[in-house]
Structure 1
Amino acid sequence: MRTIYSALWYLLLPALFLRLWLRGRKAPAYRLRWKERMAWGYRSGILKKSLWVHAVSVGETLAAAPLIERLLEDYPDVPLLVTTTTPTGSERVQALFGGRVTHVYCPWELPTALNRFMRAFDPQLVIVLETELWPNLCAAVKRHGAKLMLMNGRLSEKSYQGYGKLPRLIRPMMARFDALAVQTQVEAERYMALGAWPERVYPIGSVKFDMTLDAAVKQAAAALRSSFGNRPVWIAASTHPGEDALVLAAHKALREQRPEALLILVPRHPERFAAVADQIREAGLSVARRSQQESAAGVDVYLADTMGELLMLFGTCDVAFVGGSLVPVGGHNLLEPAAWQKPVLTGPHLHNFTAIGQLLDDAGGLSVVEDAQSLGATLLALLDDPAQCARQGKAAAGVVEANRGALEKGLRLVAMELNTGLGPSG
């Protein structure tokens, strides 16, 4: 089955290169460093006995940041390789870690490319994040003689059903994992049903609960909030196509009752920034763009068209809506606004964060809205009731505090796979 799978990848190569070129029309960075997708141009032995952490894009990179920081601290003599698949993920890695890690793009699912990659970077342990389940990558890791670990593993019911349709491809891949640190017992059972060895599956929780708000982030958030003046502020974060129009409609409805209200709009993908700015103006709303250092004074919408600032921006609002949820994307990280003690709003499409959403909902820290009308109504109710706003935000923050600890458990598993007992984390 994997032979057929590999052959399909080789047949798709022209389409893959065409896709890079097409995406490069809006995001030129996709046309750069294209040789890395094939692992061309590397010499053997660039790194020796490295630790390799593989994320995808910005979200996974930010989730992995505390893990990467601890690996740098706990294993200072071991080279650390961090890979992504998107330019935005690459930018985040470079901004967060600079020269402390080696960063390249992860190669495509081609056995020859993966073999070249292994010879170049010589990993002794490979840690993949969340749902980065690639049969050829897993096979190449084991062929190289390295350990393979899943960290912060999640698996929605939809993904589980999809993987279950290809047992001859998926079961051998799952059996190659030496350790799977997954978020919930439900997901542990799904991974085992797909072929993971039960004794290698550890439901340790989500490392996203172990995020911290450092002094610099708090200071930046306070300064920006001060510049907004004394007005109600809400944020719509990580929005997707089709969702911005709903958010803007909700904001216009809110402003009928609270005309001084300010919306901070943060599109998920940078190639959409200019188009969303145009969409705001077409909706009859005024806009200030953060990338151009424009003042939010007197405007209707503050467009946060920068990268890497979302955590800080959550600290500037009164209420937070997390996107990818009014359209069937599956939602995004609900814990960042929760850590700031903000009431969290989401749409109904939350299948990527079902467990976290349930925890927040059970604690009274989450509001689920169905459409623009209910979003606007919920915003108005919270902004008109500061006491309820504070209670809901405190409840959300309590969920974050109560569920910390997955990072330490994950680091113990890393140490175990590196054959160092309980390791530096104790």
Structure 2
Amino acid sequence: MLQAVYSLLWRMATPFLLWRIWRRARREPVYGLFPAQRFGFYGDRKAAPARAGFRATPVWVHAVSLGETRAAEPLVRALLERGFPVLLTHMTATGRTEGARLFEQDIAQGRLRQAWLPYDMPGAVNRFYRYFAPRCGLLIETEVWPNLIKSARRYGIPMALVSARLSAKSARKIRRVGSLARRTYGRLDAVLAQTQADADRLRMVGARDPLVVGNLKFDLQLPHELVRAGAAWRECLGRPVIAWASTREGEEEEILAAMREAPRTPAGVQPLVLLIPRHPQRFDEVAALVEKSGLAMQRRSGMAGMPPAAVGAQVAVVLGDSLGEMPFYYAAADVAIVAGSFAPLGGQNLIEASACGVPVIVGPHTFNFAQASADAIEAGAALRADSARAAWQQALALIDDGARRQAMREAAARFSATHTGATQRVIRAVSGWLA
């Protein structure tokens, strides 16, 4: 009964969903591509195998947005290396854009196809399964939808929640939803959790026998050319660099205020700031905030081919308005402040920064990456600050303390090295489905 009401609400929301696609596509053109796919229409079902370009039944990996797409990269590459065609689905424009960038050659060779995951309506998900007929579904981190999971059983498609995480806050919300959520989690054929705490919470909301496999993000292979370029850029710049990474709406004002109040370190050094918004659609908005603050700014997108010396001494901020360059930004930084954690948003991934060997500072709200943040702090690779102002002060102090920075760099390298291997554990756990 609950699922029927849930499905009816989705159907009633169709006019709103169409309006939402149109509205978001005005700001994010990629979001408006192939809108029929969001309702399960992918083309002629009889021609599905040929249209999909697959030699065999694909392994389906769902990565809802940018972070999940990056997290899925080592798993997708492992599947491709084993000869499996991959169907990669998304729900956001940033996820789809990143997937197209990461797997450009595989898409061109017909080994990987991207598509939108349809909205969770029975007809839409049934059409999705009939068209692609995946051999299994691997959902990255959190994406559990009642009709999607129920219909998978109808079509005999085993489903796993991979690199699964569930914060205490989300667990409480799910438990309040009641039996529909418990039934949905219980229908998953495998739940492969990041940590024991995640596994315990997933069991509480109905998952059967969750297995701890670790976090896929630790297995990311950073592009060496970007890391080398970032390190070389910092060396040529002749100034220390602090990166404010993955900032979210409502954080930049406090960040800029902190920078105006204390532009220099206690020793009198003025660092250059790399300010990198989380979402590309906010680049212009954040640029306007920097201009309003009175701080001199250059945009990374306007620096193609320019040497570091082109960043004048008067420039306080370089706006990171480019895609796919996060390893460059981290490698170019002496200290990285990972944002999304100075408002109750759950934080952003600090693992990539640690893999680049940069000392990290996080805010108080890291519930989406609770274990990774706690482990990094315990390892000496990261610090926690209770506000953006406090984080800025800690970063300034680290700029003056070369010995401590070096110790944190070494700790970051050890922290990253000791947490790898999740990809192989996932492959082993689902090997029966891949036979």
The match for 1:380 among 355, 371, 396 is 396
Look up the match of 2:216: 207
Q: Distance in 2 between matches of 1:251 and 1:351?
A: 26
Structure 2 unaligned blocks of 5 or more: none
The match for 1:244 among 248, 252, 275 is 252
Matched, 1:59 2:67: yes
The match for 1:82 among 88, 93, 98 is 88
The match for 2:281 among 271, 274, 296 is 271
Amino acid at match of 1:5: Y
Matched, 1:222 2:222: no
| Post-superposition offset of 1:207 | 1.3
Look up the match of 1:311: 327
- Aligned positions of 1:388-403 closer than 5 A: 388-403=404-419
Look up the match of 1:262: 272
Q: When the two structures are superposed, what TM-score results if normalisation uses the length of structure 2? A: 0.92
Q: Distance in 2 between matches of 1:180 and 1:256?
A: 48
- Aligned positions of 1:4-403 closer than 5 A: 4-44=5-45, 45-46=48-49, 47=52, 48-74=56-82, 76=83, 78-98=84-104, 99=107, 100-198=111-209, 201-227=210-236, 229-257=237-265, 258=268, 260-293=270-303, 295-298=310-313, 299-403=315-419
Contact in 2 for aligned 1:250/1:375 (Cα 8 Å): no
Q: Distance in 2 between matches of 1:384 and 1:106?
A: 49
Q: Distance in 1 between matches of 2:274 and 2:98?
A: 21
| Post-superposition offset of 1:226 | 4.1
SS at match of 1:395: helix
Look up the match of 1:405: 421
Look up the match of 1:423: none
Contact in 2 for aligned 1:344/1:393 (Cα 8 Å): no
Q: Deviations over 1:280-302 (max 9, x none)?
A: 01101111111122743331100
| Post-superposition offset of 1:167 | 2.7
Moved more, 177-186 or 314-323: 177-186
Q: Deviations over 1:287-325 (max 9, x none)?
A: 111112274333110011011111221110000011110
Q: Distance in 1 between matches of 2:220 and 2:152?
A: 29
| Post-superposition offset of 1:259 | 5.3
| Post-superposition offset of 1:396 | 2.4
Amino acid at match of 1:15: F
Q: Distance in 2 between matches of 1:372 and 1:204?
A: 33
Q: Distance in 2 between matches of 1:86 and 1:214?
A: 24
Contact in 1 for aligned 2:331/2:356 (Cα 8 Å): yes
Contact in 2 for aligned 1:251/1:263 (Cα 8 Å): no
Q: How many residues align?
A: 414
Amino acid at match of 2:77: E
Q: Distance in 2 between matches of 1:316 and 1:183?
A: 29
SS at match of 2:88: strand
| Post-superposition offset of 1:205 | 1.2
After superposing on structure 2, the runs of 4+ consecutive aligned residues of structure 1 that deviate more than 6 Å are none
Amino acid at match of 2:319: L
SS at match of 1:317: coil
Contact in 2 for aligned 1:235/1:264 (Cα 8 Å): yes
| Post-superposition offset of 1:216 | 1.8
Moved more, 18-27 or 251-260: 251-260
Contact in 2 for aligned 1:339/1:397 (Cα 8 Å): yes
Contact in 2 for aligned 1:253/1:376 (Cα 8 Å): no
| Post-superposition offset of 1:68 | 0.4
Sequence identity (%): 37
| Post-superposition offset of 1:404 | 1.2
SS at match of 2:11: helix
Look up the match of 1:424: none
| Post-superposition offset of 1:277 | 0.8
| Post-superposition offset of 1:223 | 3.8
Structure 1 unaligned blocks of 5 or more: 421-426
Moved more, 292-301 or 59-68: 292-301
Moved more, 365-374 or 306-315: 365-374
SS at match of 1:255: coil
RMSD between aligned residues? 1.6
Q: When the two structures are superposed, what TM-score results if normalisation uses the length of structure 1? A: 0.93
Moved more, 329-338 or 251-260: 251-260
Q: Distance in 2 between matches of 1:174 and 1:376?
A: 41
Contact in 2 for aligned 1:346/1:369 (Cα 8 Å): yes
Amino acid at match of 2:216: V
Amino acid at match of 1:396: A
Contact in 2 for aligned 1:254/1:379 (Cα 8 Å): no
Amino acid at match of 1:237: A
Q: Distance in 1 between matches of 2:134 and 2:42?
A: 18
Q: Distance in 1 between matches of 2:191 and 2:388?
A: 39
Amino acid at match of 2:351: L
| Post-superposition offset of 1:14 | 1.3
SS at match of 2:135: strand
Q: Deviations over 1:343-397 (max 9, x none)?
A: 1111101110111111011112221112233122101110110101111222122
SS at match of 1:234: strand
| Post-superposition offset of 1:41 | 4.1
Q: Deviations over 1:8-59 (max 9, x none)?
A: 1111111122222222332233233211111224222335521100001111
| Post-superposition offset of 1:104 | 0.8
